[in-house]
Chains A and B, each alone.
Chain A
Amino acid sequence: MENDEKPSITQKFLGVNPVSLMNELPVKKNPTYMRKGFMYWTGALISVAFVYQIITGLVLLLYYNPAHPYTSTQLMLTTVPYAQLIDATHLYGAFAMIVLVYIHLFRNYFAGAYKRPRQLQWITGVILLALTIGVCFFGYSMPGDVLGADAEGVGSGFAFATPVIGPSIQIILFGNGSNTASLFSRLLGWHIILAALVGLLFGLHFFMAEYHNIMPSRKESKDRAPAIVKEDDTMKAWYPYNFVFTIQLALFAFGFILLIPSVIALLPNVPALFSPLPGPSRFSPLAGNPVLYPDYPPWFLLFVYKAVDFFKGTVSIGPFTLNGGLFASGVFGGLPLLYLLALPFIDRSDDLHPLKRPIITGIGIYLIIYLTILSVWGAMTPGVPVPLADALFVLGVPFVIVILGMLAIGHLYRKGKLDITYDKIMGSLAVFIIFLMIGIFATAVNFSAFLSLDSVGSLMDTLAAGAATSFAAVGVARTASVSYAKTAPPKRKPVTMSKDSATILVTILLVISVAIMSLVINLNPISGQMIFGVGLGVDLIIAGFVLRLYRLVVYNE
């Protein structure tokens, strides 16, 4: 290793650099190419966001009083220095976690990471998804504002409607209703208990991930399971290479988690569902205004919420009678989860190429569409009943299109007519999904007219939209393959900046960073805290870039 030739500054002062002992930790080396793409590190980003959540959550805990949830929160927000910033970033850090968990899930889904030897890792991951949503649900209700109260009302109603054990579940989760503290100390308790469970299970998930290491590139795995990185001596040590890289990731993640809500908090007229700060009290007269504060659950639960509208009345299963709406959301929310849990048992082939398992890939694409349709639908027409047949039609047509389309593409691929790279496939998939969305919305817009059959035109529209999307998808993939074959891509230059300019840039970045910090650090910690948040967020991102350039110059990465 070139570093060892001359003693570094740390070595001069401390003898053996104690931090290099980190290489003795049970962490795996990673090939250099992995430190170039974010897609290999979606799990690491979630971990960073989770650490941020734990730290800010513990700080918020010091101020939270479940007997006075709203007043204690408001009091903290209005009197404690930087409390708004911490509260807002705790909310957006949770949003970031949910978004990243979905990205992580689908990246590993399409990459086939659920196959051997990572089946158990996949299953713990799906459970972590459910737990994370649970933590977020309880946390969202904690401030006692109108949005939280609405969320809590929906959840508590769900619990209560479970047959036989429903009332007990409701009391277990939401308290016996004797007073404010009974509800909010349960919310607080479950928020922390579930977060602790996430932490424990994450530990297991993480060490399994370290044991199996990250999924290697397709080139390395040759699209066959088991996809394992073979560690060898040409690989650089974990410390300092991956260590610096991890800090770089953390700086970027912290930076965006601070920056985004701070900017949003400074914008006027942000819709209540995305406001980084709690809304008015559930007792306030404003709370009754459905335009300002619609009766929504948080956005990440909108998809189960819409399903409530699919099934009015009751369902009987054996001796039990269920509330139909809740039954529907149980089914529409539970089925995807069960499917994901069962996936390692369903698809046991060793094929990792998405086109070699077209049905599984198709279902994955469909899941994205499914979540989007239900969420958008829930946000646009909350509580408007939809007959089950209509719902199944709207959700069913894209399913048929996607699966048939993927089967066709998979067929072409197997016959060798679609010899395209992974990047191109991903590009085509993105375009395909966009086309499909357009098709679905065209269908949805014409939908009521179509159902009443008073317009042949809208029927035609619907069919045309469906057909167009299928053709578009296949066409895009075809074009991609043809154009790719014609224009052999020039090899991209690996490094685009010389070491001298990188050094100068790093220095300039440091000066800017110091300047920003000195501007924001003495702002009023109450009235100026969101501007402070913007400055701190930008500085964290700058520090991330500095480390990136440092790796470029010193590590040649």
Chain B
Amino acid sequence: MADTEEPVSEGRRNFLRLVAVAAVGVTAVGLLKGGISDLIAPTLGLTSFPTLTIYDTTGKPLLYENLPVNSAEVYEFFYPLSNEPSFLLKLGDKTGKPLNITTGPTPKSRATGVTYTYPAGVGPSGEQCVFAFSGICQHAGCIPPSIKYYPPGFTIPGYSSSYVGQSGLIHCSCHGSTYDPAEGATIVTGPTQNPLPGIYLEYNATTHQITAMKQMYGPYIYGHTSDLTGGAPLGTSYTPITIIKTG
């Protein structure tokens, strides 16, 4: 067309420039709004303890009989938040016969002097031997496999006390804290001033599944101002086991 080659007037050019900048600006508003709101992570946590069935490594509910007694490998799961590792323990005596702990142990805090009452073991009657504790050391926060369970008969490097638990000990290699799992993870040797927090479990006699639920006992999980804040919920109805192989 004839008029296409004529230069446009200054006024129209500036008008168009304004429109073009505005059109790009509108999209910039959208992009910035989206981008910046995404960077502001919502503060997270839970308002109550979740009910999470413990799953095995293949993605199916873990059955009582498939959990080994006195396992030197760490059976770790996350509860109640996804950054809170915990141990699952099936305690037996020296011969590997499951213990039967029917009254709740009473560990004591050296820091506050408070005595807690933890729940009894869960499992089929006569074998109430499954316990779960927070896997974050109460001294300075070491996690598995630095802190782990040593079954009866295993030597603990650097452990010199003569105390022998009914079913081995939990020991943290970071600075040498030791806990007795059969006594509610009570303090055996320092430097820790608190027992490990205990997790409430339920055993289903029909399905043989184990579920973590309802509440926790003892001090708050190390590094958290409450067990339910300071991390992301798992967002699922289950919490899978990770087996940490140890030397």
Contacts and interface: CB of A to CB of B under 8 A. Distances in A.
B1 A495 contact: yes
Contact of B245 (A178, A493, A536, A550): A178
A83 interface: yes
Interface in A316-372: none
B24 A543 contact: yes
Interface in B21-70: 22-24, 26-27, 29-31, 33-35, 37-42, 44, 55, 59
Contact of B38 (A86, A536, A540, A556): A86
B235 A74 contact: yes
Given A283-B59, A495-B1, A71 B34 contact: no
Contacts of B233: 75
B17 interface: yes
Interface string A491-505: 001110011000100
B14 interface: yes
B23 A536 contact: no
A491 to B, nearest CB: 14
Interface stretch (A210-218, A269-277, A513-521): A513-521
A86 B19 contact: no
A547 B40 contact: no
Given A71-B234, A247-B24, A543-B24, A6 B10 contact: yes
A222 interface: no
Contact of B26 (A494, A498, A517, A532): A517
A282 B59 contact: yes
A547 B20 contact: yes
Contacts of B19: 506-507, 510, 546, 550
A401 interface: no
A381 B16 CA distance: 56
Interface in B228-247: 232-236, 238, 240, 242-245
A284 B82 CA distance: 17
Interface in A65-113: 65, 68, 71-72, 74-75, 78-83, 85-86
Contacts of B4: 494-495, 498-499, 556
Contact of A80 (B5, B31, B38): B38
Contacts of B244: 178-179
Contacts of B238: 283
A164 B3 CA distance: 73
Given A78-B235, A82-B34, A546 B23 contact: yes
Contacts of A553: 8, 12, 16
Interface in A274-299: 281-284, 287
Interface in B204-247: 232-236, 238, 240, 242-245
Interface in B190-213: none
A527 interface: no
Interface in A537-557: 539-540, 542-543, 546-547, 550, 553-554, 556
A266 interface: no
Nearest to B244: A179
B110 interface: no
B157 interface: no
A259 to B, nearest CB: 12
A529 B12 CA distance: 37
A180 interface: yes
Contact of B24 (A59, A85, A251, A521): A251
Interface residues of A, number: 63
Contacts of A495: 1, 4
Contacts of B12: 503, 553
A9 B34 contact: no
Interface residues of B, number: 48
Contact of B41 (A63, A494, A543): A63
Contact of A554 (B13, B23, B31, B78): B13
Interface string A246-258: 0100010010000
A179 B26 CA distance: 47
Given A83-B38, A251-B24, A550-B16, A283 B30 contact: no
Contacts of A506: 16, 19-20, 23
B31 to A, nearest CB: 7
A242 to B, nearest CB: 16
A82 B7 CA distance: 44
B163 interface: no
B159 interface: no
Interface in A3-55: 6, 8-9, 55
B7 A2 contact: yes
Nearest to A74: B235
Nearest to A494: B4
Contacts of A282: 59
A507 B16 CA distance: 8
Give the one of B24, B29, B55, B233 with max A CB within 10 A: B24
Given A499-B4, A513-B23, A86 B34 contact: yes
B144 to A, nearest CB: 10
A525 interface: yes
A509 interface: yes
A62 interface: yes
Nearest to A178: B245
Contacts of A510: 19, 22-23, 26
Given A72-B232, A74-B235, A281-B236, A525 B23 contact: no
A82 B24 contact: no
B23 A75 contact: no
Contacts of A281: 59, 236
B57 to A, nearest CB: 9
Contacts of A155: none
A75 B43 CA distance: 12
14 contacts: A9-B14, A74-B236, A78-B235, A79-B42, A80-B42, A179-B242, A498-B1, A510-B19, A510-B23, A510-B26, A514-B26, A532-B30, A536-B27, A536-B34
Given A71-B82, A521-B30, 4 more contacts: A9-B14, A546-B20, A547-B20, A550-B20
7 interchain residue pairs of minimum CB distance: A283-B59, A81-B37, A546-B23, A543-B23, A536-B30, A82-B34, A82-B38
Interface of B: 1, 3-5, 7-8, 10, 12-17, 19-20, 22-24, 26-27, 29-31, 33-35, 37-42, 44, 55, 59, 78, 82, 232-236, 238, 240, 242-245
